[in-house]
Structure 1
């Protein structure tokens, strides 16, 4: 019984050590990729594109300004048809 527990303990220690090293490797790669300005721009563009497709709100377009502080907006009919 003691041998069985000792084998389990050694396996646990070695497994957690290898698991932690692999975790650090994956996390480091993720940080390196997402830390790149090019990757950040691509991720942001993708998020915006998904948000635009998923958004239930119609895209608004400016029609005519009434005065310097007031604009008239209307839903964009073309954008609604392409969704």
Structure 2
């Protein structure tokens, strides 16, 4: 029984180390993609396209909250 518990313990430790290594690989790849200037320009272009389709009026007043979020006042009818 003690041998079985020892094997499980070693398997757990090795598995968590491998899992942590893979997690760090995934996080590293995510950061590399999201900090890439080409990715940022594609995302910004997509946001602009969506904003134009939602509010085609180019003269609309927009209030920036932060780098990503903006508020547009309601349109008068």
Q: TM-score range by the shorter chain?
A: 0.5 to 0.7
The TM-score normalised by the length of structure 1 is 0.56
Name the CA distance, whole Å, in 1 between partners of 2:19 and 2:39.
27
Cα RMSD, aligned residues only: 2.6
Q: Which secondary structure state, in structure 1, belongs to the residue aligned with residue 20 of structure 2?
A: helix
Q: Does 1:29 align with 2:22?
A: no
Does structure 2 conserve the Cα–Cα contact (< 8 Å) formed by 1:34 and 1:40? Answer: yes
Q: Name which one, 1 or 2, has greater alpha-carbon Rg.
A: 1
> Unaligned 5+ residue runs, structure 1?
63-72, 76-83
Deviation sequence 1:44-76 (CA, Å, 0-9, x none): 3234445666x5xx64476xxxxxxxxxx789x
Q: Aligned residue for 1:16?
A: 16
- More strand, by proportion: 1
Taking a change above 3 Å as real, the CA distance of residues 9 and 35 of structure 1, as seen in their structure-2 partners, is: same
Q: Which secondary structure state, in structure 1, belongs to the residue aligned with residue 23 of structure 2?
A: helix
Q: Which has the higher contact order (CA 8 A, sep 6+)?
A: 1
The TM-score normalised by the length of structure 2 is 0.60
> Unaligned 5+ residue runs, structure 2?
60-74
